[in-house]
Chains A and B, each alone.
Chain A
Amino acid sequence: MTTPDRKRSDRSPWNWLLAIPIVVPLLPFLYNALDPRLLGFPRFYWLQLAFVPLGVVCTTAVYRLTKRRR
């Protein structure tokens, strides 16, 4: 059994990337409008759906960039 590394922590400047998908979906002025439409979807709907991939990109980036070396 290994001894836990006392200096090990989750601190990393990359973690700040997580703030983007938290703050952006909470700014209604970005998406509370009809135009431009995309495939018939008003902006309100397609843009908020597009925040999902934004969140995925940011969490995946943080996961990859902060991987612990084993």
Chain B
Amino acid sequence: MSAHLTEIIVFTALFLTVSGMGFVASRWRRPHSLASLDEWGLGGRSFGSWVTWFLIGGDLYTAYTFVAVPALLWGAGAAGFFAMPYTVITYPLVFLVLLRLWSVSHVHGFVTPADFVRVRFGSPTLALLIAITGIVATMPYIALQLVGIEAVLKSMGVTGHLPIIIAFAILAAYTYQSGLRAPALIAFVKDALIYVVILTAVVVIPLKLGGWGSIFDAAEAKFAATPAPGDGILLGSGNQLQYITLALGSALALFLYPHSVTGVLASRNRDVIKRNMSALPAYSLLLGLIALLGYMAIAAGVKPVVTDGRPDNNTIVPQLFDQMFPDWFTGVAYAAVGIGALVPAAIMSIAAANLFTRNIYREFLRPDASDADEARVSKIVSLLVKVGAVLFILFLDTGFSIDLQLVGGVIILQTLPSVGLGLYTRWFHRGGLVAGWAAGMAAGVLMLYSIGNPATGKAHFAGSAFPLSNLGLDTKVTVYAGLLALAVNLLVAVLGTLVARTAGLADGGDLTQPDHYGADEGDPRVRDLDLVG
């Protein structure tokens, strides 16, 4: 333990500084009162380009990403690099979609994606399904942020669950008090630390290892020596389709996650979103370089930390830093990862809490809830969500959180027809969308359940690469299960809509109008119009 004393001191000092900022954040851009979801949950819907860039960047590129993506490259090679095309295509893909979502949410005061579905399709049931999907997909994601912190703590020789419980208690306290303003303010520090650490790493470490050429050579040699057919520094014939379908599916899913929507709706106007679609890829470049830390770890001969006889691949990057940097800078790097976990965890818990408040509490339990009631319920639920995430880690295997996160990505995609396509067309019948959702969920979970990995002896949930041979096709090609499930979903939604129309089933009303999807800052809101009328 004493060998890591400098690291622990630097880590703790930075962590506490940031926690202090979290509490002070409630006074930043001081509102009249934090007692409404617009203020507590969306930071007053007032963030400009810079704040939004740090907030969404800090939200999407999480601590877990920073340890898990290099670990993937370390273990499997090129297939792990899918994060690169994934984060490149996502911004042009959602550029126009998010503008429509922002505008219609501005006009109607939506806080969650399920709010939109409720008003667009006139169906509380469909909105409830969307909300539950969002909450279920988000919970393991929060738990995984703890895995990020845990990887760093393990590398400092700190074991046991108490430090994580303390860290999350502090996080819970300032999120409760400051709402979305806390992660927005902390994101500045988090991202500054991450940029400094990674840019230093990609300059210093290759110099020490004899240049990029020898790093890639070392990786190539490692994979050539393994018996596994799927690894290597290039894609094989069997996993190319998996690579691009996983990239496409993940890109489609990214902005369906409730916490991404929260970041988008907190921005001030349409221009802020457009500028960020051009500026956020800076993080993608960083992510690409971070991914390559996995190969640097191979070249440097890094070994993962072994606890209870099991190696933890997620400790690869922390171990690499420990080996390459002086202690004080390793401490800074660890703090970057640790704080990197706090920002997304805070936003995710706020987003999940808002879903509960708006689409379950107000919809089904207290229809006359005031703004202050909503804020109060959301604050309490945000605490419960974090307690739940800690319980996940304490009582369930970490591997289980990773399985659930895998499932989360697949199921959040099943909200695409209602939320994503719903922004463009009202053609679907609410019954068709509900049926499609159910079919997509079932297909997705069944496919993931059927995916095993003989190499690790895991029979179920061993990955998201669905072998087409399972469908009776004579091929070794694999495809991302989420995208297949989405295809099932869409097919059933279309058929269901046709059946519902033919049978004359009642459809819900649509309270949005075409011009709501182009509205900008300063345009009248429904609430204002109601007051006038």
Point out residues on A near B: beta carbons under 8 Å: 1-6, 8-10, 15, 18-22, 25-26, 28, 32-34, 37, 39-42, 44-45, 48-49, 51-52, 54-56, 58-60, 62-63
Contact = CB atoms under 8 A, between A and B. Distances in A.
- Max chain B C-beta neighbours (<10 A), residue from A37, A42, A55, A58: A55
Contacts of B244: 26, 28
Nearest to A18: B92
A21 B84 contact: no
Contacts of B100: 10
B240 A32 contact: yes
A63 B275 contact: yes
Contacts of B281: 52, 55-56, 59
18 contacts: A2-B523, A4-B519, A4-B524, A21-B91, A22-B89, A25-B84, A25-B89, A26-B244, A26-B248, A34-B234, A40-B211, A40-B212, A42-B216, A44-B234, A49-B285, A52-B285, A59-B91, A59-B277
A46 B216 CA distance: 12
Given A9-B518, A18-B92, A51-B85, A60 B292 contact: no
Contacts of A60: 278
A48 B285 CA distance: 10
B81 A25 contact: no
Interface string B405-429: 0000000000000000000000000
Given A10-B518, A54-B88, 19 more contacts: A4-B523, A6-B514, A6-B515, A18-B93, A18-B96, A26-B248, A28-B244, A34-B233, A39-B212, A40-B212, A41-B216, A42-B233, A44-B234, A48-B81, A48-B288, A51-B88, A55-B88, A55-B284, A59-B277
Interface of B: 78, 81, 84-85, 88-89, 91-93, 95-96, 99-100, 211-216, 233-235, 240, 243-244, 247-248, 274-275, 277-278, 281, 284-285, 288-289, 292, 514-515, 518-519, 522-524, 528
B81 A44 contact: yes
B78 A44 contact: yes
Nearest to A33: B234
Contacts of A34: 233-234
Nearest to B291: A45
A55 B524 CA distance: 34
A8 B81 contact: no
Nearest to B519: A4
A1 B92 contact: no
Contact of A8 (B277, B278, B518): B518
B70 to A, nearest CB: 13
Contacts of A44: 78, 81, 233-235
B88 A40 contact: no
Q: Give the top 9 A-B pairs by smallest Cβ distance, nearest first.
A: A40-B212, A40-B213, A25-B85, A18-B92, A60-B278, A59-B278, A8-B518, A63-B274, A48-B84
B89 A21 contact: yes
- Max chain A C-beta neighbours (<10 A), residue from B92, B234, B243, B518: B92
- Max chain A C-beta neighbours (<10 A), residue from B91, B292, B522: B91
A9 B248 CA distance: 27
